[in-house]
Each structure stands twice: as structure tokens, then as C-alpha cells.
Amino acid sequence: MLRYVTFSMLAVIAGMAVAADRPSLESLDTNKDGQISLNEASANDALFVAFKQLDTNRDGMLTKAEFAAWKG
């Protein structure tokens, strides 16, 4: 039981560290339109790679909701 609790705590801490390393929408939104274009996403390698999967409505832009799914 103690191992499970310890492992669970480490997983949560690791997840928080990953999320903390991710930039905010505002810092990537260079034209300040409230969305992230593929060009703007290219400033972050991980976001650029995930862009197509995150762009659920396939409009070439990440909305705040779509971006939040990456920030998760």
C-alpha cells in the first residue's frame, strides 16, 4: 500500500513538473488574437508536434479550449 501511495505521489509531482514547463497561451500568441496558429506553435517543439492532434476542429488554430487540452 505504501508503495502505491508513494508511486501515485511521484506521478502527480512529475505531471505537475511537465505542465509547469509548458508556456502559457498568452506567451505564444504573438499577434494577440486569442488563438495559437501553427506558426506561433512552432516556438515550442512539443506543442508544434502535438498541434494537429490538438486542433480538433481542423481550422489551423488552437482555441483556448484546445490549448488547455495540451496544458492538461
Would you kindly state where each structural domain of the chain is located, as residue ranges? 23-72
Q: Which pLDDT score is estimated for 41?
A: 97
Q: Which fold has domain 23-72?
A: Recoverin; domain 1 (1.10.238)
Residue 67: count of CB within 10 angstroms of its CB: 22
pLDDT digit string, tens, across residues 7-63: 445 444 444 444 568 999 999 999 999 999 999 999 999 999 999 999 999 999 999
**37 contacts: CB under 8 Å, gap ≥ 6:** 31, 60, 61, 62
Q: What is the pLDDT of residue 20?
A: 60
Q: What pLDDT, on a 0 to 100 scale, did the predictor assign at position 72?
A: 73
Are 51 and 41 in contact by the 8 Å Cβ rule? The answer is yes
Q: Which three cell numbers stand for residue 53?
A: 492532434
Number of other residues whose CB lies within 10 A of the CB of residue 44: 18
Q: Is the pLDDT of residue 6 over 90?
A: no
**Cell numbers given for 16:** 505537475
The C-alpha cell of 10 is what? 511521484
